[in-house]
């Protein structure tokens, strides 16, 4: 079983050296006191708890799973106590509003803790992760009374949260949902309907569960324009803020799944359950997207986290497993065979895992700093610009990072050979737990349509141009740098090509909208590889400066430069095939008759 160790050195590198977060924090409310020492101490404490309390429950939680009964859902042994320790240590309140008991720290720091929790135990991290989304949604769109009633308990972890979106007949097409909201004389609503795939919809770790439910009012227009959002608590809050009367909401069953078995995935039934509207009528989907965007960045981070855990397990095994001799002669002549880490194909797999983990971490944390500005400087010009950039990068973060995360877990299994397929080594669990990430919070096909259609084509590539201008400025500054010149020139070519692809797809889509759909997934993957390349070039530039300054950690920084070169030379060329398939048109997909697919 992989023994998870939080990659604190690399986390510190991305925060302090790549993103220079101290300068970033200084412009945020209360951020002036956040120095490197304080941040590192907080992350160190989180790592200790996660490594010693959360990680040991990963395998046992997978084996036991959650248990449903008419009385409720029981989480695996040890989860309830670990959750209490996690909450008591303050990790559910890190980024929340101090007015309601939060610590007021930037959301980007909460993302770092969430990464460690997800690598250690992906099922466990689902519970506080969903609650964070509920906090963001109510904090942004709730009334003063709703915030006062729900936020203190959600922030402390005493209560937990969910988001209840989809139904069995509609999947991602929420315009088809049927759950009803009937108004009451007292301003509340009776919510009736059934929701599926509700993570943490029922469990035994918190006193109350606050469901955020999408439903339709009696006069609602059809489609997504007729959806409203409601708070529907499992127990109605009493006047003093404690748990009161049981509401008419029940978990009718839990799903039997491929992975994340210790995370309760529930079918929730609402039978005239009392609910309270969040935001304005018929604008619930917009309010819910506050929660969904937080969740999508978190999901992308979970993909990276599974890949990181798999890399750690694969690397340890490759250093220890003896098999065959190196092609260039024995490297360990005192042993009967060489460790498999000397073989080129094993190096290929390990370096791919390493590159995906480090590229993903840089992108996720960069998105975290954008979220800091959006949520902590609302209404400011900086927040407006950060929000546009975050909207562009969120589908890349969610879609591409879960794709590469799953690829990484499969590579981890392959490094172990037959042992990777055996349960006792834990590698197959990481693959199973990571597979769902490509499907939930909007399947990656939906992410690709969102990226190409809404975030790029809809504004003629204007937001993309803002991002590529940033990349081009970096390239221009480093084209005279002998060590980075090749990377800078390649980035310049890629940003030019990126916009040419947008123009070509737009022209094709004007004549036939299927052309955009046919190109979208390849476009998302292309965008991911180019974005990672930018992150790696920036990391290499930082590492080069540290080496030149005589750092005592020169080996760490050399590894950064080497990994960047590996990415540019071995992984980035995947974009060549993506360009070809992206521009091959929709006929090779749509031309075959539906009936002919059966032959």
Given a contact cutoff of 8 angstroms between Cβ atoms, the answer to whether 442 and 172 are in contact is yes
Q: Which residues on adjacent β-strands are paired with residue 246? A: 235
- Look up residue 386 and give its two tokens: 């950060």
Separation of CA 27 from chain center: 25
Give the span between the Cα atoms of 90 and 301, in whole angstroms: 21
Three-state secondary-structure class, residue 3: coil
φ/ψ of 244, rounded to 5, equals -115, -135
Given a contact cutoff of 8 angstroms between Cβ atoms, the answer to whether 137 and 162 are in contact is no
Give the span between the Cα atoms of 579 and 68, in whole angstroms: 48
Given a contact cutoff of 8 angstroms between Cβ atoms, the answer to whether 231 and 162 are in contact is no
Tokens 């969430």, located at residue = 114
DSSP 39-52: HHHHHHHHHHHIII
Q: Which of 441, 490, 500, 587 is catalytic?
A: 441
- Look up residue 138 and give its two tokens: 């109510």
Active site residue 407: no
Return all residues near 370 (Cβ < 8 A) that are at least 6 apart: 386, 387, 389, 390, 393
Given a contact cutoff of 8 angstroms between Cβ atoms, the answer to whether 60 and 78 are in contact is yes
**Angle at CA 479, nearest 5°, toward 475 and 481?**
120
Tokens 């007949």, located at residue = 169
Given a contact cutoff of 8 angstroms between Cβ atoms, the answer to whether 197 and 265 are in contact is yes
Q: Of 203, 249, 245, whose CA–CA distance to 230 is shortest?
A: 249
Q: How many CB atoms lie under 10 A from the CB of residue 511?
A: 8
Give me the active site residues, please: 441
């Amino acid at each position: 079983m992989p023994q998870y160790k939080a990659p604190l050195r690399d986390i510190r590198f991305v925060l302090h050296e790549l993103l220079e977060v101290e300068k970033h924090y200084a412009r945020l409310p209360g951020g002036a006191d956040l120095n490197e020492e304080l941040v590192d101490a907080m992350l160190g404490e989180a790592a200790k708890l996660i490594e010693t309390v959360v990680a040991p429950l990963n395998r046992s939680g997978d084996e036991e799973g959650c248990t449903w009964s008419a009385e409720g859902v029981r989480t695996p042994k040890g989860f309830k106590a670990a959750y209490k320790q996690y909450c008591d240590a303050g990790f559910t309140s890190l980024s929340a509003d101090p007015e309601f008991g939060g610590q007021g720290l930037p959301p980007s720091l909460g993302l770092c803790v969430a990464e460690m929790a997800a690598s250690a135990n992906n099922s466990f991290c689902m519970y506080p992760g969903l609650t964070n989304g509920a906090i963001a949604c109510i904090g942004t769109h709730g009334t003063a009374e709703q915030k006062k009633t729900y936020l203190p308990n959600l922030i402390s972890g005493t209560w937990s949260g969910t988001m209840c979106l989809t139904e069995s007949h509609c999947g991602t097409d929420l315009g088809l949902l049927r759950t009803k909201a009937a108004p009451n004389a007292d301003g509340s609503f009776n919510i009736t309907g059934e929701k599926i795939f509700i993570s943490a919809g029922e469990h035994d770790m918190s006193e109350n569960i606050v469901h955020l439910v999408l439903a339709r009012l009696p006069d609602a227009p059809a489609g997504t324009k007729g959806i409203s959002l409601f708070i529907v608590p499992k127990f109605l809050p009493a006047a003093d803020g404690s748990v009161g009367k049981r509401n008419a909401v029940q978990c009718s069953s839990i799903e039997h799944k491929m992975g994340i078995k210790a995370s309760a995935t529930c079918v929730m039934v609402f039978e005239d359950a009392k609910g309270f509207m969040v935001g304005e009528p018929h604008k619930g989907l917009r309010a819910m997207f506050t929660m969904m965007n937080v969740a999508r960045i978190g999901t992308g981070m979970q993909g990276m986290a599974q890949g990181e855990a798999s890399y750690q397990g694969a690397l340890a095994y490759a250093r220890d497993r003896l098999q065959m001799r190196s092609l260039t002669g024995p490297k360990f002549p005192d042993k009967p065979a060489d460790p498999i880490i000397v073989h080129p194909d094993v190096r290929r797999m390990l370096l791919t895992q390493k590159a995906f983990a480090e590229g993903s971490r840089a992108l996720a944390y960069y998105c975290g700093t954008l979220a800091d500005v959006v949520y902590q400087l609302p209404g400011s010009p900086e927040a407006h610009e950060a929000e546009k950039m975050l909207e562009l990068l969120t589908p890349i973060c969610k879609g591409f990072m879960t794709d590469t995360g799953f690829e990484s877990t499969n590579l981890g299994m392959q490094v172990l050979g037959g042992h990777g397929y055996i349960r006792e080594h834990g590698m197959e669990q990481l693959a199973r737990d990571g597979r769902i990430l490509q499907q939930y919070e909007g399947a990656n096909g939906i992410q690709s349509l969102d990226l190409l259609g809404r975030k790029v084509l809809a504004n003629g590539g204007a937001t993309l141009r803002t991002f590529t201008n940033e990349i081009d400025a970096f390239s221009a500054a480093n084209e005279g740098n002998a060590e980075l010149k090749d990377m800078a020139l390649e980035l310049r070519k890629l940003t030019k090509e990126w916009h040419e692809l947008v123009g070509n797809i737009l022209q094709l889509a004007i004549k036939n909208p299927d052309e955009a759909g046919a190109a979208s997934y390849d476009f998302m993957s292309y965008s991911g590889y180019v974005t990672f390349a930018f992150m790696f070039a920036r990391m290499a530039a930082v590492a080069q400066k540290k080496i030149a300054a005589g750092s005592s950690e020169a080996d760490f920084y050399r590894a950064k430069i080497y990994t960047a070169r590996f990415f540019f030379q071995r992984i980035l060329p995947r974009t060549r095939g993506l360009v070809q398939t992206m521009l091959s048109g929709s006929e090779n997909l749509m031309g075959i008759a539906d009936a002919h697919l059966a032959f």
